[in-house]
């Protein structure tokens, strides 16, 4: 089958479009003809081999996690799906045997594997995955939109809905609205929960898009001070929750924007992994910090329900043909965009 794979770490030159063997469909698996795949920063980190993702070659590795497509084959024992179903794939495979998985906390599974990073992924014509990781999507949801959902909405759902328990009468600060996670957080906070949303971004054009998505106020951090503006907007109180997926560069002003007793969720650190935390303010103001990595299978089921009802509408910036994966990687690295980048075939 045609695929995009790497046989060494490096820049975009290591991305090869060519043939790899079809995936094996084991007991409990479904084989999917991939129609759309979303790019994630993880794809670039896996390609580079940085951030602890260095691996041995051979064998070659097919990149790609988030995807959507059509079921073309069922492994033994699969009862929940049928050939022809349109599905979206949760790219985090969990063991479903450990104590965390058995307790429904499979986001904490110690034997989890990420498609396209630990094992062959979705930059390919076909992928075989456990049936529990495939969710049926309605005909009104495009493959591109569905593919854009899992890695953006799962951590947002994990944080805002399940753990931070944001309420409709509360406020949330969403950092960097233009990234997939930022856009997803605005939608969930506004359209699902009904909270007041303060978003940050870096240009007037992106600010307009964030407002279109539902942000009540957008702070342009290139010429406004995040902490000061949040203080003004909230009448000096601070926000109830923060959604942070960018890390080091914005942690200090965002943490300072949180009210006493507020909850801080972090699910990514694209601007840097280390920061300084004032422990005195943490305990005296009784703030809470939550780390979130993807979400549970139940989180995914709830997200797909809302995707199918049209409440959740993932934002796609642009699509590229699969064979141009290198161009898409370059675009992600060097361009300013809003939403997700998608590979189609």
For residues 87 to 116, the per-residue mask of contacts with Zn ion, x marking binding by CB under 5 A and - elsewhere, is -------xx--x--x-------x-------
Residue 115 tokens read as 């498609």
d(CA 4, CA 140): 29
- Within positions 205 to 244, which residues make up the interface with Zn ion, using CB under 5 A? none
Residues 109-148 contacting Zn ion, CB under 5 A: 109
Rounded least distance, CB 93 to Zn ion, Å: 10
Name the residue nearer to Zn ion (CB basis): 109 or 218.
109
Number of residues that bind Zn ion (CB under 5 A): 5
Considering the complex, what minimum distance in angstroms separates the CB of residue 109 from Zn ion? 3
User: DSSP E strands: which ranges in the chain?
Assistant: 2-6, 16-19, 29-38, 61-62, 67-74, 86-89, 92-93, 113-114, 126-130, 134-136, 171-174, 196-201, 217-220, 239-244, 258-266, 288-291, 316-321, 340-344
User: Is 189 a binder of Zn ion (CB under 5 A)?
Assistant: no
Smallest distance from the beta carbon of 322 to Zn ion, in angstroms?
Answer: 31
Instruction: Give whichever of 98 and 256 is closer to Zn ion, judged by the CB atom.
Output: 98
Q: How far is the CB of 90 from Zn ion (least distance, A)?
A: 14
Decide: is 294 part of the binding site for Zn ion (CB under 5 A). Answer: no
Query: Which neighbouring-strand residues pair with 4?
Result: 17
**Residue number with the shortest CB distance to Zn ion?**
109
Give how far the C-alpha of residue 273 lies from the chain's centroid of Cα atoms, to the nearest Å: 18
Are 129 and 24 in contact by the 8 Å Cβ rule? The answer is no
CB of 153 to Zn ion, least distance (A): 21
Mapped onto helix, strand or coil, the DSSP state of residue 176 is coil
Beta bridge partners of 67: 37, 89
Which of 14, 98 has the CB closer to Zn ion?
98
Using CB under 5 A as the criterion, which residues of the chain lie in contact with Zn ion when the complex forms?
94-95, 98, 101, 109
């Amino acid at each position: 089958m045609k695929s995009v794979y790497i046989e060494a770490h490096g820049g975009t030159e290591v991305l090869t479009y060519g043939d790899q063997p079809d995936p094996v469909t084991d007991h409990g698996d479904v084989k999917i003809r991939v129609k759309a795949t979303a790019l994630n920063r993880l794809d670039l980190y896996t390609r580079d081999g940085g951030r602890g993702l260095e691996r041995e070659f051979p064998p070659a590795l097919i990149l790609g996690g988030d995807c959507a497509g059509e079921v073309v084959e069922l492994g033994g024992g699969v009862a929940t799906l049928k050939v022809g179903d349109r599905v979206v794939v949760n790219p985090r495979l969990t063991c479903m045997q450990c104590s965390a998985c058995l307790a429904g906390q499979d986001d904490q599974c110690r034997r989890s594997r990420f498609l396209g990073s630990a094992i062959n992924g979705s930059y390919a014509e076909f992928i075989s995955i456990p049936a529990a990781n495939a969710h049926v999507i309605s005909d009104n949801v495009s493959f591109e939109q569905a593919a854009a959902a899992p890695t953006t909405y799962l951590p947002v759902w994990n944080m805002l809905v399940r753990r931070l328990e944001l309420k409709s009468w509360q406020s949330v600060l969403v950092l960097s609205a233009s990234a997939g996670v930022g856009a997803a957080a605005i939608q969930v906070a506004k359209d699902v929960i009904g909270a007041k949303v303060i978003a940050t971004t870096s240009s007037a054009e992106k600010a307009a898009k964030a407002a279109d998505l539902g942000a009540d106020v957008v702070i342009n951090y290139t010429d406004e001070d995040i902490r000061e503006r949040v203080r003004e907007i909230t009448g000096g109180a601070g926000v109830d929750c923060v959604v942070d997926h960018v890390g080091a560069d914005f942690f200090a002003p965002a943490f300072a924007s949180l009210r006493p007793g507020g909850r801080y969720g972090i699910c990514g650190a694209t601007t840097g992994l280390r920061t300084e935390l004032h422990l005195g303010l943490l305990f005296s103001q009784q703030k809470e910090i939550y780390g979130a990595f993807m979400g549970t299978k139940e989180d995914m089921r709830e997200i797909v329900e809302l995707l199918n009802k049209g409440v959740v509408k993932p934002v796609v910036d642009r699509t590229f043909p699969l064979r141009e994966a290198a161009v898409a990687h370059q675009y992600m690295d060097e361009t300013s965009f809003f939403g997700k980048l998608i590979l189609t075939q």
